[in-house]
Chains A and B, each alone.
Chain A
Amino acid sequence: MINTKNIMETINMIDKENLDIRTITMGISLMDCIDSDGKKARIKIYDKITRCAENLVKTAEQIETEYGIPIIHKRVSVSPISLVAQSTSDKDYVKFAQTLDKTTKTLGIDFIGGFTTLVHKGYSKGDRILIESIPEALASTNKVCSSVNVATTKAGINMDAVKDMGRIVKKTAYLTREDDSIGCAKLVVFSNAVEDNPFMAGAFHGIGEADTIINVGVSGPGVVKSALEKVKGENFGTVTETIKKTAFKITRMGQLVADEASKRLKVPFGIVDLSLAPTPAVGDSVARILEEMGLESCGCPGTTAALALLNDSVKKGGIMAASQVGGLSGAFIPVSEDEGMINAVNAGSLNLEKLEAMTCVCSVGLDMIGIPGNTPESTISAIIADEAAIGMINCKTTATRLIPVYNKSVGEEANFGGLLGKAPIMPVSKFSSKLFINRGGRIPAPIHSFKN
């Protein structure tokens, strides 16, 4: 009846290998909060979020106590604010962001996502107002996250939005310059954004979702690394099997927590995100898994292949363990949030171009990367365009979360604290993309998107 080995394995995963639930994220639709009067809309928004998520933190803490598994973040994602706010006559949506921020204090949650707009094909009135509001919204709030979808495989890339986002990222960096431009750490530019992502900064509650939903993101890079330490020198078949088995176990725990949270909160279960999400803590790094496969330092030749294997094996192992899979699902490669990535950048083995290659085979994109504060807007836009193109052509989500750290240059470091970690400033190409970005218009959808 008692299998000591299995029980001790689970306990070791939690105690020594940093296994945790990264987030329980409650998605809340705000579509019934629309009002022509901005003030009334914000009252409805505040009331709905604080009512629906009233017991989120308490329930998550109870689950932590009973199962002995840490749940690091409790978050809320809401409908894209551009849709909710655009029937008002407001000239900016900063107050909407501040209302969202206020709910985080009331609820005790860690982040709220959904200061979002989807403009992959063009702008409506609310989209433009929201995008222009982003810098001040992020500078005047603490826990609000913002995302803008500029491309999809079906629609192509909105290069006008790409151009605008270079400017918005820079302005956000400037307005939050006292804190190492931290505003940019809460701003993601997407290609193929997903509607049920529990991870920040890109979480929002899609319009195809139910009124409220529970999504869970798991995390366990340390567990995967420890498992691979036991198969040193074995071939890739063994490596794949080891990762699959480990991902299965991690995801089963995520499914259990998601089911419990859903049952106790009386909110339908949405998805489990099959993720390997690192933290800046030692022993919680995706880069170190890649190195465990035999790479001297993350970023050296072989890194893209290693990441491809890791990402695919995590999905294969996890998909059978969860009843509904969604979100971003795969290995994350943020730089500032991963001790091994930071080390690789400082060692000179990992650069922006290699990271771009890596984003072709993993679940996200250029994530949490500090770049010099004097990087031109057009260069940031061009990096966003490159990343959007990778997503569009490969039918996958990609995201760009660059932080042009005000007044800092290569060799320095930006410190964001907490899970956001610290970012070594990485060099960016000195060659100009300005004429390319200034063209504007749209890059059409690729031929393989025409499947109907």
Chain B
Amino acid sequence: MKAFITVIGKDKVGIIYKITSVLFENNINILDINQTLIENYFTMIMLVDLSKMKTDFTSIKNILENKAREMGVDIKIQREDIFTSMQEI
């Protein structure tokens, strides 16, 4: 199963490091990563592979949301299909 992780918020040091650490700890592979910075607004989108993840979807979502709260950013993890079904024919 693949999913997109999106992080939106004010730019600060260590956002990618902290998120990717969580992914590393849970054996989640990053397939692609894209980052843009508009003024001080940070948007990062990652495509990840959850097939070998050590935990379940609800848990990883909770872990990521807690981490995002600590950093004061907004994070989402959503299965890839919602984007592909809506945006591709």
Contact = CB atoms under 8 A, between A and B. Distances in A.
Given A3-B87, A4-B45, A68-B76, A253 B82 contact: yes
A253 B85 contact: yes
Q: Which of B34, B45, B79, B82: most chain A CB closer than 10 A? A: B82
Nearest to B1: A66
A67 B45 contact: no
B1 to A, nearest CB: 9
B78 interface: yes
Nearest to A9: B87
Interface string A1-19: 1111011111100000000
A1 B87 contact: no
Given A11-B76, A66-B57, A68-B76, A2 B34 contact: yes
A67 B43 contact: no
Interface in B23-53: 31-34, 36, 43, 45, 47
A6 B31 contact: no
A106 interface: no
Interface of A: 1-4, 6-11, 62, 65-69, 249, 252-253, 255-256
B54 to A, nearest CB: 17
B45 A6 contact: no
B67 interface: no
B79 A1 contact: no
Contacts of B45: 2, 4, 7
A68 B47 CA distance: 15
Q: Which of A3, A10, A255: most chain B CB closer than 10 A? A: A10
Contacts of B31: 1
A105 B78 CA distance: 30
Interface in B1-37: 3-4, 6, 31-34, 36
Report the 7 A-B pairs with minimum CB-CB distance, sorted nearest first. A68-B78, A6-B87, A256-B85, A2-B34, A67-B82, A1-B32, A249-B86
Given A6-B87, A9-B87, A69 B82 contact: yes
Given A1-B31, A10-B87, A67-B79, 9 more contacts: A2-B34, A2-B45, A4-B45, A6-B86, A9-B87, A69-B82, A249-B87, A255-B85, A256-B82
Nearest to A2: B34
B79 to A, nearest CB: 5
A3 B82 CA distance: 13
A67 B82 CA distance: 6
18 contacts: A1-B31, A2-B32, A2-B47, A4-B43, A4-B45, A6-B87, A9-B87, A10-B87, A66-B57, A66-B78, A67-B78, A68-B76, A68-B78, A249-B87, A252-B86, A256-B81, A256-B82, A256-B85
A10 B3 CA distance: 14
A10 B36 contact: no
A68 B76 CA distance: 8
Given A1-B47, A11-B6, A65 B82 contact: no
Interface of B: 3-4, 6, 31-34, 36, 43, 45, 47, 57-58, 61, 76-79, 81-83, 85-87
A10 B43 contact: no
A110 B43 CA distance: 37
Contacts of A1: 31-32, 47
Contacts of B81: 67, 256
Contacts of A62: 58
Contacts of A252: 85-86
Contact of A8 (B33, B43, B77, B78): B43
Q: Which of A3, A66, A67, A256: most chain B CB closer than 10 A? A: A66
Contacts of B58: 62, 65
Contact of B82 (A4, A8, A68): A68
A443 to B, nearest CB: 45
A12 to B, nearest CB: 11
A65 B57 contact: yes
Contacts of B57: 65-66
Nearest to A260: B81
Nearest to A65: B58
Contacts of A68: 76-78, 82
Q: Which of B3, B81, B86: most chain A CB closer than 10 A? A: B86
A249 B86 CA distance: 5
Given A1-B47, A2-B45, A10 B79 contact: no
A10 B86 contact: yes
A67 B58 CA distance: 11
Contacts of B86: 6, 10, 249, 252-253, 256
Contacts of B33: 2
B8 to A, nearest CB: 8
B40 to A, nearest CB: 17
A256 B79 CA distance: 11
A11 to B, nearest CB: 6
Q: Which of A6, A11, A69: most chain B CB closer than 10 A? A: A11
